[in-house]
């Protein structure tokens, strides 16, 4: 059994580990994934997932700081029912372009005014607000100046920012937990309420005898006092307008406390913070819930977070590669939808399946405060909407319509319950894109787990903040963006990049290469071990299973160490079936990894069968050629030492030449390892044979005295190598001619010089495994499709008209 241990590729594990480490170093050194502004290169924090980068089926992405820059700018606000702030956002521009309508004159004028004012004053990072009604102290002349004062005061004090004073310039800068808070503090400063100091006693100042809060409107409106909602309708309207413009919104409200109420609250909060059990966070939430009620509305803020460079193009490429993209965000639905349009995740003509709990019945129950009735009605409503969405998918299954699923956080609570999550997943998987709005960190993690376990396919999560950590840990691959929200996401990730657009190269180039290299490496490893092991088995059968090995002990030991291992490592590190340029030009090539066509049982067994054929050819040709031959002048026939050395020489030649045929991209190192392995065998045979027979045993002087002088040895070696490679060569020729794989088609048009010919490139793209329904490429395709339909309908009308004319003419 020891002789047949070569059928088990034990050294494969070591080789794969070496290859993966080297692959990771190439990812780290890729200059195309280096972000100069922050001096951040890509960083593979583990090498265990390289091949999975080429098999990603679904990407689950955060929005803020991932798709967007996470560089917040305070641009608008609503105070006491009055909207303040001028200008136009990037999303509004994209919306106008999408609808084909010009920008309103007033918006253009406002934008020009903002640009003019920006030229006059130095821009402040985080503050892009322009409205003379409340700037430069003019707010005191406004009708509700007392409300504006409380609004700006709340911005200045309700945060966790820490002021830092520059000793040279005496200017104050702020370190905040999130860019939103930094934008609020800077806005308060620019509008006349400067926060300059924080101490342990600052929370007990007389100016702080109120409880203030900033939360999303879906939570804050529920906590307002029933008799203090005078600006609610106007504020809701402004918040919806801000959301339509792609802005992040927060509601600001406060409540006055007496001294005893504050002391009681402070004592309970301190006890909750000092708790050491696992329920500490829940205790803090319970205490704050008791105080954050009956609030008095002040207004709302709107901050802009622009898309990162290259995000629409990256999403388009990933969609062309057949990768499904889900966005999990804490923003409200309108904001997420508009960002989806801006980054090409959504497009016109795409049917939107929207699931929310904004029905009149549920709103009435919420006002009545009947929690059990609300939960029951909400669950039924979500189930009904999911079922209706599935019916729409079923009805249009034969058509080419694309669907987008958009669901809010409240609905997601019920959709993720055990009895409903499977039908929710069926609906989501059938849609081209999915957006989950108002999602909590826990919901992000649960959705990621549902997709991973439900689809049984590779998932990738990408995010930049602490609230994305659960999602990154649940996914098969976690990608952290080293942004401005700290390093929590990066420290919890498998790979760190600086910009979302680098995901395109990480997956389509490095992912495809790593998957193909490791797949080919494993298949080749089985091939060379089967070839070697079968020759041992055939000789054992030839020798009546005498347990006498055909090869010298050192030949057996060094086969997987020196003569055949280095070419495999070179294959796993350097081989490229298609260059990086063509990986990006033909993104559908990525589907070879998603569908696992390069590492199927059929492919592995095919390589093993190739090894069987090679072994049979090597053994029987050597036996038939050497059995009757004399190998020296005295007429000595070939013995075991001559047969074994000849067979071993043929094996080394065949497996290394097979490697040369399988390699698509040669480097100097690959040439050195492949041909060097063969040369190293001859050097070893000379050196080992020159040693004393005590050490070299039956290999003593076998090459010098027996093999080298015999023409038969050289003829047999050449003939066996050619014959053993014919099966693979024939299979490859037939496959590329009649059953080409996608990478083979790309290689062929490149070889023929048609890589820049649009007609040939479009012909290759027509081999799409699935139609592209997301991205601006899909938008153009849909527009062309509509144009063809109009032309077809016009022709049909003309043909009908001509037929009627002929019919009437015939009757006349």
Which residues are part of a known binding site for Mg(2+)? 62, 64, 464, 468
CB 411 within 8 A of CB 356: yes
Phi-psi region of 596 (alpha: psi -120 to 50; beta: other; left: phi over 0): left
The token duo for 506 is 């990480």
Pick the closest to residue 85 from 119, 105, 113, 120 (CA basis).
113
Contact 55, 589 (CB under 8 A): no
* 694 C-beta neighbours (distance < 10 Å), count: 7
Helix (H, G, I), strand (E, B) or coil at 126: coil
- Largest Cα–Cα separation, the chain: 121
d(CA 296, CA 227): 9
Note whether 767 and 588 are within 8 A (CB): yes
Cα within 13 Å of Cα(451), Cβ side: 31
Q: Output b/e per residue, 740-764; b: 16+ Cβ within 10 A.
A: ebbbbbbbbbbeeeebeeeebbeeb
DSSP class of 138: G
Neighbours of 547 (CB within 10 A): 8
Task: Kindly give the interhelix angle for 179-190 and 145-157, rounded to the nearest 10 degrees.
Answer: 130
How is residue 487 annotated by DSSP? S
Token pair in block for residue 39 = 């001096």
Annotated binding site for ATP: 62-64, 181, 248, 329-331, 438, 444, 467-468
Residue 373 parent element (H or E)? helix 371-395
List CB contacts of 482: < 8 A, sequence separation 6 or more: 38, 40, 464, 490, 496, 497, 498
Q: Which one is catalytic: 62, 110, 305, 575?
A: 62
Report CA Rg, the chain: 35
CA distance 224 to 363: 16
Q: What is the dihedral of CA 83, 84, 87, 88, to 10 degrees?
A: -30
- Binding site residues, as ranges? 62-64, 181, 248, 329-331, 438, 444, 464, 467-468
- How far, in Å, CA of 97 to CA of 681, rounded? 68
Tell me the C-alpha distance between 21 and 755, whole Å.
Answer: 33
Cα–Cα–Cα angle for 215, 218, 221, rounded to 5 degrees: 80
Q: How far is residue 159's CA from residue 214's CA, in Å, rounded to a whole number?
A: 9
β 56-61/458-463 pair status: parallel
Indicate if 62 belongs to the active site.
yes
The set of catalytic residues is 62
């Amino acid at each position: 059994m020891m002789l047949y241990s070569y059928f088990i590729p034990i050294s494969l594990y070591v080789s794969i580990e070496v290859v993966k480490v080297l692959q990771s170093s190439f990812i780290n050194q890729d200059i195309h994934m280096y972000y100069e502004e922050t001096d951040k290169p890509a960083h593979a924090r583990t090498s265990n997932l390289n091949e999975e980068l080429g098999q990603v089926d679904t990407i689950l992405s955060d929005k803020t700081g991932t798709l967007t820059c996470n560089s917040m700018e305070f641009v608008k606000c609503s105070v006491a029912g009055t909207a303040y702030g001028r200008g136009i956002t990037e999303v509004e521009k994209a919306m106008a372009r999408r609808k084909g309508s010009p920008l309103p004159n007033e918006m253009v004028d406002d934008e020009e005014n903002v640009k003019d004012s920006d030229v006059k004053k130095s821009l402040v990072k985080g503050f892009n607000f322009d409205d003379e009604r409340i700037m430069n102290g003019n707010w005191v002349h406004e009708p509700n100046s007392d409300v504006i004062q409380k609004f700006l005061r709340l911005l200045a004090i309700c945060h966790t920012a820490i002021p830092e004073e520059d000793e040279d310039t005496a200017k104050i800068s702020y370190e905040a937990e999130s860019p939103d808070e930094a934008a609020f503090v800077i806005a308060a400063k620019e509008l006349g309420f400067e926060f300059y100091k924080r101490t342990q006693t600052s929370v007990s100042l007389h100016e702080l005898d109120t409880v203030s809060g900033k939360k999303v409107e879906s939570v804050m409106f529920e906590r307002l006092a029933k008799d203090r909602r005078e600006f609610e309708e106007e504020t809701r309207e402004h918040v919806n307008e801000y959301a339509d413009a792609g802005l992040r919104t927060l509601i600001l409200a406060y409540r006055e406390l007496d001294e005893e109420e504050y002391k009681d609250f402070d004592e309970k909060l301190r006890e909750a913070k000092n708790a050491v059990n696992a329920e500490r966070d829940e205790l803090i939430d319970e205490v704050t819930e008791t105080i954050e009620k009956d609030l008095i509305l002040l207004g709302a803020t709107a901050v802009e977070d622009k898309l990162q460079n290259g995000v629409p193009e990256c999403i388009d490429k990933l969609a062309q590669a057949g990768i499904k993209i889900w966005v999990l965000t804490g923003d409200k639905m309108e904001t997420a939808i508009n960002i989806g349009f801006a980054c090409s995740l959504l497009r016109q003509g795409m049917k939107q399946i929207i699931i929310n709990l904004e029905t009149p019945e549920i709103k009435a129950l919420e006002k009545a405060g009947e929690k059990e009735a609300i939960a029951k009605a909400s669950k039924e409503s979500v189930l009904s909407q999911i079922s209706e969405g599935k019916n729409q998918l079923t009805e249009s299954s034969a058509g080419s319509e694309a669907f987008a699923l958009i669901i809010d956080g409240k609905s997601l609570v019920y959709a993720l319950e055990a009895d409903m999550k499977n039908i929710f997943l069926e609906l989501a998987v059938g849609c081209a894109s999915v957006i989950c709005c108002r999602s909590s960190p826990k919901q992000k993690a649960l959705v990621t787990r549902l997709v991973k376990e439900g689809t049984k396919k590779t998932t990738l999560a990408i995010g930049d903040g602490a609230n994305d950590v659960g999602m990154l840990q649940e996914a098969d691959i976690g990608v952290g963006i080293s942004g401005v929200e700290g390093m929590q996401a990066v420290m919890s990730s498998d790979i760190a990049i600086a910009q979302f657009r680098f995901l395109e190269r990480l997956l389509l180039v490095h992912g495809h290469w790593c998957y193909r290299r490791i797949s080919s490496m494993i298949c080749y490893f089985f091939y060379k071990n089967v070839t070697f092991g079968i020759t041992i088995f055939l000789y054992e059968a030839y020798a009546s299973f005498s347990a006498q090995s055909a090869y010298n002990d050192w030949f057996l030991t060094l086969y997987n160490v020196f003569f055949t291992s280095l070419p495999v490592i070179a294959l796993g590190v350097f081989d490229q079936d298609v260059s990086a340029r063509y990986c990006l030009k033909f993104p559908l090539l990525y589907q070879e990894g998603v569908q696992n066509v390069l590492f199927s049982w059929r492919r592995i067994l095919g390589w093993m069968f190739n090894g069987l054929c090679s072994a049979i050819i090597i053994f029987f040709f050597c036996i038939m050629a050497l059995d009757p031959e004399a190998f020296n002048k005295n007429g000595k026939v070939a013995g075991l030492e001559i047969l074994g050395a000849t067979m071993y020489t043929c094996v080394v030649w065949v497996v290394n030449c097979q490697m040369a045929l399988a390699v698509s991209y040669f480097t100097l190192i690959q040439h050195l390892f492949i041909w060097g392995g063969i040369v190293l065998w001859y050097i070893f045979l000379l050196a080992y044979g020159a040693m004393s027979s005590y050490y070299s045993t039956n290999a003593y002087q076998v090459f010098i005295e027996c093999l080298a002088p015999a023409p038969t040895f050289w003829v047999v070696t050449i003939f066996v190598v050619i014959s053993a490679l014919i099966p693979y060569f024939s299979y490859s020729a037939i496959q590329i001619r009649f059953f080409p794989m996608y990478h083979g088609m790309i290689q062929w048009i490149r070889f023929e010089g048609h890589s820049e010919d649009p007609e040939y490139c479009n012909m290759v793209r027509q081999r799409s495994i699935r139609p592209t329904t997301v991205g601006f490429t899909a938008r153009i395709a849909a527009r062309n499709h509509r144009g063809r339909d109009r032309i077809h309908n016009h022709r049909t009308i003309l043909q009908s008209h001509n037929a009627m004319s002929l019919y009437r003419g015939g009757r006349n």
